[in-house]
Amino acid sequence: MESATEALSNLSVNGDSVSSVPNLQKNLCLLFPEQIELAKMLVETGQSHLFQHWPEPGVDNEEKKAFFDQVTRLNSSYPGGLASYIKTARELLADSKAGKNPFDGFTPSVPTGENLTFGDENFIKFEETGVREAQNAAFVLVAGGLGERLGYNGIKLALPVETTTGTCFLQHYIESILALQEASCRLTQGKCQRDIPFVIMTSDDTHARTLQLLESNSYFGMKPSQVKLLKQEKVACLEDNDARLALDPQNKYRIQTKPHGHGDVHSLLYSGGLLNTWKDAGLRWVLFFQDTNGLLFKAIPASLGVSATKQYHVNSLAVPRKAKEAIGGITRLTHTDGRSMVINVEYNQLDPLLRATGHPDGDVNSETGYSPFPGNINQLILELGPYIEELKKTGGCIKEFVNPKYKDASKTSFQSSTRLECMMQDYPKTLPPSARVGFTVMDTWLAYAPVKNNPEDAAKVPKGNPYHSATSGEMAIYRANSLILRKVGVQVDDPVQRVFNGQEVEVWPRITWKPQWGLTFSDVSSKVSGSCSMSQRSTMVIKGRNVFVEDLSLDGALVIESVDEAEVKVGGSVQNTGWILENVDYKDTSVPEEIRIRGFRINKIEQLEEHYSEPGKFNLKV
């Protein structure tokens, strides 16, 4: 074994001599041999400043050891280790300082993809194919983000999708996956007994609370063995253009860290060996999705159907995009050397790219009132086989970027430390030209209603652009369900306009149902018949698989809950005072945070509520 003194004498590389780090030298006796190797690597990569303030051995020994524990973690969790991170950081920081365009040589154009219209023959066909394929799918939710834009104190997965039932995002996602599993199994006459695997990527910011949410709710009905949490690690922050690592302002014995981005999901899946396990079990698809889109599962069956039918290796879900909306644009990039790829160009890069390539107005709407580039909603469907082949080459590393906020035009110093980041949708960037990369566009009302912005910022969104707030996210659920019921023939009243937390929104009847009641258009249309109508002030909650709505006229609130073995027919005329939306102010701290961020609470005054807990056939005729 190399002695500490020998190790130290090797610390003379690139002009960083032993004598330049005397404070480290003095403390080497505290370190294990592997830690001495790491110390050497840090000095070699220009990080001597990390030790400048280290006192004599005997002072803060535990903190010094903890520092090296952290360095060990940072080193092992990054492919290629910290030395590789620092090297890449230096290159990317130099490019950024030089103002190098990451899309140099590429010309953007509008790609063509599959455009779906909800409820038409094509859509129904894709949905059926998608449900059939679902038993061969695994779902991966990226939920490591803190949601700084939303500013909510809890984890976003715990937020209610809507407050009529109070179902949180995680519960809704799990129930949707379980409903798909059941429906897929039924379509194949129960031949398939497979549980759809569900992976959640967490981070130090979200892990404990995600686990607690699952455990305190019995995994919302999913088998605990079906769910796997993979925690992403943060990466070291950089304080200057030389990629010197930043010390934590709260603790000078720690390196400051920040999230590396959702792109980590690929290396985590790969390194854990999960993908091969899935392949061996006969799975074919991996579906990636984000933490707060309550509409997403209305788009999943048809999109999976598109992937299967078109044999797409990569299928990105998209919606029409408003110019400058904070969602990436799906773009065809053609290089001067002939290469071409269909890829997401992130919202902050699309405008400069367009301006640099002959579109002086940049990211603007076309005559349709939308950007010509479809908006990426970051829901990716990857075919497992080609995905594994690609990751064998890359190890799951995704092309990184750096986004320093400089103090001034000289670009010599940063306002605050920065770090390398990566995005999961950049996965196709390394694919060969033979890869089948496509996308599927659906109406926004059906597919996309994220909760990302706090009330103050949402109220400032330019008129006509979506708020992406808790208010708009909830209203979007009611609108989608109302429009779906209209499509199957229910006469649903028009919405009224109301203002909550400074945001003007359409308020439709508050119609909600469990995913197992209406997963696809065909499901809903098979459960609603006769002449039905719903007034704008109505609320309808369906919690039960076999509830059949027939000749129902609703003007008030109706809640039906039933066990799977009960078949309930609901009809007649329901009229009561119902449930009323009352304004609350987001600054009113006497109201729980998850309520006040939406700007209203529901006053449940009067309802018709029926529970069917026994098997059998029931008829509720009011």
Interacting residues with ligand UGB (CB under 6 A)? 142-145, 201, 203, 259-262, 290-291, 327-328, 344, 346, 376-378, 423, 425, 450, 452
Count of residues in the chain? 622
CA distance 356 to 363: 11
Question: 33-44 and 81-97 are packed helices; what angle lies between their axes, rounded to 10 degrees?
Answer: 20
Choose between 425 and 546: whose C-beta lies nearer to ligand UGB: 425
Choose between 258 and 598: whose C-beta lies nearer to ligand UGB: 258
Instruction: Return the half-sphere exposure (C-beta side, CA atoms, 13 A cut-off) of residue 296.
Output: 29
CA distance 320 to 371: 7
Question: Shortest Cβ distance from residue 450 to ligand UGB (Å)?
Answer: 5
Q: Taking Cα atoms as reference points, which of 42, 45, 29, 44 lies closest to residue 71?
A: 42
Choose between 450 and 473: whose C-beta lies nearer to ligand UGB: 450
Instruction: Return the half-sphere exposure (C-beta side, CA atoms, 13 A cut-off) of residue 274.
Output: 24
Helix (H/G/I), strand (E/B), else coil: 112:
coil
CA distance 41 to 11: 8
CA 155 to chain centroid: 13
Question: Shortest Cβ distance from residue 28 to ligand UGB (Å)?
Answer: 35
Task: Provide the pairing of β-strand 491-492 with 247-248.
Answer: unpaired
Choose between 142 and 574: whose C-beta lies nearer to ligand UGB: 142
Question: Shortest Cβ distance from residue 298 to ligand UGB (Å)?
Answer: 16
Question: Shortest Cβ distance from residue 161 to ligand UGB (Å)?
Answer: 14
Token pair listed for 486? 């209209």
Question: Shortest Cβ distance from residue 273 to ligand UGB (Å)?
Answer: 20
Rounded (5°) CA angle 319-325-326: 95
Token pair listed for 339? 């290469």
Choose between 130 and 450: whose C-beta lies nearer to ligand UGB: 450
Choose between 261 and 544: whose C-beta lies nearer to ligand UGB: 261
Question: Shortest Cβ distance from residue 97 to ligand UGB (Å)?
Answer: 24
Question: Shortest Cβ distance from residue 77 to ligand UGB (Å)?
Answer: 13
Choose between 253 and 373: whose C-beta lies nearer to ligand UGB: 373
Choose between 425 and 454: whose C-beta lies nearer to ligand UGB: 425
Whole-angstrom Cα Rg for the chain: 27
Question: Shortest Cβ distance from residue 30 to ligand UGB (Å)?
Answer: 33
Q: Taking Cα atoms as reference points, which of 254, 256, 246 lies closest to residue 64?
A: 254
